[in-house]
Amino acid sequence: MSRGLSVRLLGRMVREEWRLHAELFGDRFAAFPLLVAAVSGLGFWLLTLTAVSTEAVAAGLHGLVFFFGLQVGTIGLVGRDALRDVLGDVTLLVFSARTLPVTWRRLLGVFLLKDLLYYSGLFLGPLALGYAAVALSTGAAPATVGLLWVTTTGAFALGVGTSMTLAGVGTRSRPLTVGLVAVVAVGIATGRLDPVALSPLAFYQAPSLSTALTGFGPMLALAVVGPLAFQPADSGVARTATDRYSRLRSMFGDAGGSGSAGGVATRTVLEVARSSGSVWKVLFSMGVLFGVTALLVREVARATALAPSYGIAVGTLLGLGAFTTYSWVTQFDDEREYLRYPVGMSEVFAGKRTAYLLLSLPAGLVYLLASLVWVPAREVAVGAVVFPLVAVYVYGVTAYVTGLSPNELLFDTPLFAAFGAALAVLSVPLVVAALAYTAAPTVATGVALGVAALGAVVGVVLSRRAGPRWGVKVR
Amino acid sequence: MAAIETTDLTKRYGDLTALEALSLSVPEGELFGLLGPNGSGKTTTIEILTGQLEPTSGTARVLGHDPVADPLAVREAIGILPEREDPPSFLTPREYLQFVGDVRGLDDPEDRIAEWADRLGFREKLDTLATDLSEGERQRVMLAQTFVHEPDLVFIDEPLVNLDPIMQAEVKDHMREYCDRGNTLFLSTHFLEVAEQLCTGVGIIREGELVAERDPRDLGTDERLLDYFREEVGGGETGSGGESGAHDESEELAGDAGR
């Protein structure tokens, strides 16, 4: 009876997810898996041309999928209000515990399973297909491709479970959440905790009963702990807050432009800080991306004769990763809300830019500074220049292409393709420069700095044009 | 002088006509009610007049400004309360009204915030996160943001939604006083009793066309606005008061299609 209910809930949640995407993106949505397969296949093929082994590519893929899982799982971090702000008056089944005789934990558990099935079919499957085309042509066994699909699905589940667990523990004690993250970070930094051994990647690299247990065990544990720990944010408790608006507003002064832009920036920073996960979610998502990139640079150096530039590679990837910050700063409003105030869209985007830079730059720079422990200062300095320049480019492109709705990129195939192409225009030369660093360090660094600076100029131009463009579009 | 003047205002979304040649004049000091069934074009009218949406054809003047050519000037001069709009979830009412003060360029927001919080009875909730307010409290905060800058004209879509009977009476009194001071209020509502009690002029809109205008004070003793409304729109789903929060879903869909 009870299991039957969960199965029925699962079926309805999958249908709900499909309809949600179809409602948001129409027919364009169906082409998304094809695009993922094509783009990933192309990406893997390009990487093999640079002498990166398919094993290194597979390792990087696990890292990226884990990161994607973290992002998907942040529904628990964001909560119902933000979802309503993004999607309008949408009521999802996962939030029906208040009206139906179903526990919140069961709903969250089924929701997690639904995400796993849904995204493994629509996103991870095409990703594995793209990999298969390249891996099989290089002589890899077909079983390896199947194995990759299973373990990347596991890595995705690990990401979702980690997000959910952190959000769940955070609903009970924020210091405990910070403590957990700190313990894991220290464990990894000191070498006492091997993140690869505790992830499905371990099973991919060396399939055995032992690696199955150690590789998939944490994923299963987090999938149970997350929903158990979670206490819904909409619990009816009236939370009060001291007036931070005035203080923050006076700190900003006229940053970002007129009084209106300052107001938008202040409001945005407060909303990110007050929503579940606070500003830590920005630091956390940057941290995961930093870890994955640092690991990739190390793996490439180990697996090939190349010695990529740490500063260019990490600076570029952190800059691209600032997209997640853009997503946070636009999570709680949309263009139409501002049509009710005497504020121009240019001012709105100027305010958003201030909030985006204020949140993303310190978060990325913290990790770059931390890497001074094992990386030469010169490399860190290069990264510290490349990162903000790329972040400015990412802001301009995202604001211009998606307005205040960056989540529409997901599954809107033409928009995603245009956005991906725009990012590739800057990131591909930078990645090539990072790899060419081995042969010509000075030239590669110079080219990278020049390209990044040019990208920042383009970003500024696009961000200035985003306001007028969206001001016309929404009316 | 007219606070609002429209000539042949039309809005089309492909084959769908949301508004058809609306010509309307609302004098200053009027409490005007735009009435009509779901999907009749009320929200579209308000969105065009407040510069949120561009008409397909026709002209409009709001307090002397053109909402198409100069939407910011219109929004600066007016207050807007859309239906189903909440204050931002993670700001307190105080902070939200400070933000409104910022974008409206108010010099003394704190005094005004205190005054409006007292008037609408949410002073003790000024520092509670909006996400934790009741729906009625959120509506009061939204009413405060509509009036806090003391505009000469306000547009309100369903002002009494989610308010308790005592607060409904107080808001009605406030709207009357507001217009008695020479200000203009443009109201869209499903509550015909409210329109009958408050409005000094009503327009009835059906399928995007203005089919009748009337001063409810001219109704005879045995006449009800509901009967007049039924006569003009041919019965239908809207009319009697007491139903709170009925939504213009078809209008919203039409709006979405045009965005």
Count of CB pairs separated by less than 8 Å, A with B: 110
Nearest CA-CA distance, residue B234 and chain A, Å = 31
Domains and CATH numbers, chain B: 2-88+153-258 (3.40.50.300)
Interchain CB distance below 8 Å, B132 and A237: yes
Closest CA to A440 of A303, A302, A301, A307: A307
The tens digit of pLDDT for each residue in A330-358 reads: 988 989 899 999 999 999 999 999 999 99
φ, ψ for residue B12, nearest 5 deg: -125, 145
Per-residue confidence at A50, pLDDT binned at 50, 70, 90? low
Closest CA to A147 of A201, A101, A87: A201
Closest CA to A394 of A365, A432, A435, A352: A352
Interchain CB distance below 8 Å, B89 and A270: no
Per-residue confidence at A290, pLDDT binned at 50, 70, 90? confident
* Partners of residue B127 in chain A, C-beta under 8 Å: 240-243
For testing contact with chain A, the best of B72, B102, B113, B137 (most A CBs within 10 A) = B102
Q: Which of A194-198, A299-303, B4-8 has the lowest mean pLDDT?
A: A299-303
Interchain CB distance below 8 Å, A245 and B82: no
The tens digit of pLDDT for each residue in A404-462 reads: 988 776 667 788 888 989 999 999 999 999 989 988 999 999 999 999 999 999 999 99
Nearest CA-CA distance, residue A23 and chain B, Å = 12
Chain B residue whose CA is closest to A348 = B103
Pairwise CA distance, residues A452 & A234, whole Å: 43
**Which uninterrupted H or E stretch holds B210?**
strand B209-214
Contact assessment for residue A29 and residue A22, using Cβ atoms and an 8 Å cutoff = yes
User: Residue A24 has what pLDDT?
Assistant: 64
Of B54, B85, B128, the CB nearest to A239: B128
φ, ψ for residue B87, nearest 5 deg: -70, 155
Mean pLDDT per 10-residue section of chain B, whose length is 259 residues: 94 92 95 91 94 95 96 95 88 94 89 94 94 90 95 93 88 93 93 88 92 85 79 58 37 38
State the residue for tokens 């089924």: A110
Using a CB–CB cutoff of 8 Å, tell me whether B50 touches chain A: yes
Using a CB–CB cutoff of 8 Å, tell me whether A140 touches chain B: no
φ, ψ for residue A190, nearest 5 deg: -90, 0
Interchain CB distance below 8 Å, A238 and B133: yes
User: Residue A193 has what pLDDT?
Assistant: 86
Interhelix angle A441-473/A310-321, rounded to 10 degrees, is: 10
- pTM for the full predicted model: 0.79
Three-state DSSP at A311 gives: helix
Q: At residue A20, does pLDDT exceed 80? A: no
User: Residue A190 has what pLDDT?
Assistant: 81
Contact assessment for residue B129 and residue B89, using Cβ atoms and an 8 Å cutoff = yes
Report residue B151 as tokens.
């505009």
Chain B residue whose CA is closest to A336 = B52
Interchain CB distance below 8 Å, B98 and A246: yes
Chain B residue whose CA is closest to A335 = B52
Of A84, A237, A475, the CB nearest to B54: A475
